Amino acid sequence: MAPIRVLVVDDSAFMRHAVGRLIGEAGDLVVVGSASNGEEGLKAAASLKPDVITLDVEMPVLDGPGMLRRLMATSPTRVVMLSSLTTEGAAVTLDALDAGAIDFVAKPGGSLSIDVGRVSGDLVAKIRAAAGMSEASFLAHRNRVARRAMLRPAPAVQKAVARPVRVGATTARRLVVIASSTGGPSALNAVVPLLPGNLAAGVLIVQHMPPGFTASLADRLHAGGKIGVHEAAANDLITDGEALLAPGDFHMISSASGRIQLSSLPPVNAVRPAADVTLQAVAPVWRDRILCVVLTGMGADGREGARAVKSHGGTVFAQDRESSAVWGMPGSVVEAGLADKVVPLDRMADAIAAWVANAGATRVAGASAGLGSMPMARR
């Protein structure tokens, strides 16, 4: 097979050399060019037509998100961002994901990282995943990006709303757990904001992201939708009509009473937070009142969690191949025979809402017929 052709765009000569060397060592990747700012990057992309571009966030003349928006309008190309691990870096990186980047890698030492070799495996894997994205999936991704750009509210509307103090809140009646990784922020943007505000279920979201990025993602999902979305904190209560996003570098589980617990136990499936940890913890408590939703992502995180959900009477949905940036996670669930439904991304919010409504109707009908129901999570 022909090697994956990569263009490296970074304002630091050191980073261009370091990233180029890491890519060249992969064997199946080759650097076809480099550029020191967004304007040069656009010219190089037009002439070289690379398979994937690695794109720095902060650059002079034209920064990464600025280049990305113009690139997607003129020469759509799969892009992996390189970001600094800062609050500002997180916000700008999420802007880039909104503008069409497939994924990102956080530089461990900031914008000029002498430790970039520590993330070489992650960088190479994400370049391969971006290159392996089918043309149909990439086209669907671009269309979602274009629709969001047209509908995006003014910046003032996007500011996070403080979490309200909810006096007398009770544990959710049902639970939806959403797992995602590569391509996940874009997929979550296509699902979570479309969930109804009166959803009779709590939502837990496990997105593979480093610390500092999950708070920004939660703020954006909150501002764009009808249900509240917040980065989870210890002792948060899972309640109807609200979503809690696992914070970066913490596994998220819940007690039998529906209270969030955060853990720094070792990574599972090489990630923390891991969806398998969350799902295996909540499945025995919520039993038939839990829906597991596995969205786009590399690897197989979520598969064993889905198995636990099924073994306790719960339901599993997986995103379909055509709409997934990477069909690794949902594909592993489907191939293991664990998916009750395989759902296109643009229909997932409706499918979740329908499951919640039907689950509630089934429980009421069962109780009326004298069949009883599974016990609620203890208050």
Are 292 and 313 contacting, i.e. CB atoms less than 8 angstroms apart? Answer: no
DSSP 266: P
- How buried is 232 (Cβ within 10 angstroms: 0-12 exposed, 13-18 middle, 19+ buried)? buried
The encoded tokens of residue 322 equal: 């055509």
Q: Are 192 and 243 in contact (CB under 8 A)?
A: yes
How buried is 13 (Cβ within 10 angstroms: 0-12 exposed, 13-18 middle, 19+ buried)?
Answer: exposed
Neighbours of 87 (CB within 10 A): 12
137 tagged catalytic: no
Catalytic residue among 34, 56, 111, 208: 208
Tokens of 271: 């990630």
**Residue from 36, 111, 180, 181 carrying the catalytic annotation:** 181
C-alpha pair distances (Å), 79 with each of 88, 130, 168, 217:
20, 7, 46, 19
Say which amino acid occupies 150. Answer: M
> Which of 213, 186, 223 shows the shortest CA–CA distance to 85?
213
Q: Is 122 assigned a catalytic role?
A: no
Residues 6+ apart with CB under 8 A from 72: 99, 100, 142, 145
103 is catalytic: no
C-alpha–C-alpha distance, residues 233 and 237, integer Å: 9
Per residue in 137-150, is it b (16+ CB within 10 Å) or e — as a string? bbebbeebbeebee
User: Which one from 11, 51, 103, 301 is the annotated catalytic residue?
Assistant: 301
Which DSSP letter does residue 309 get? H
CA dist., res. 196 & res. 192, Å (int): 9
In whole angstroms, give the CA distance from residue 24 to residue 19: 9
Q: Which residues are catalytic?
A: 181, 208, 301
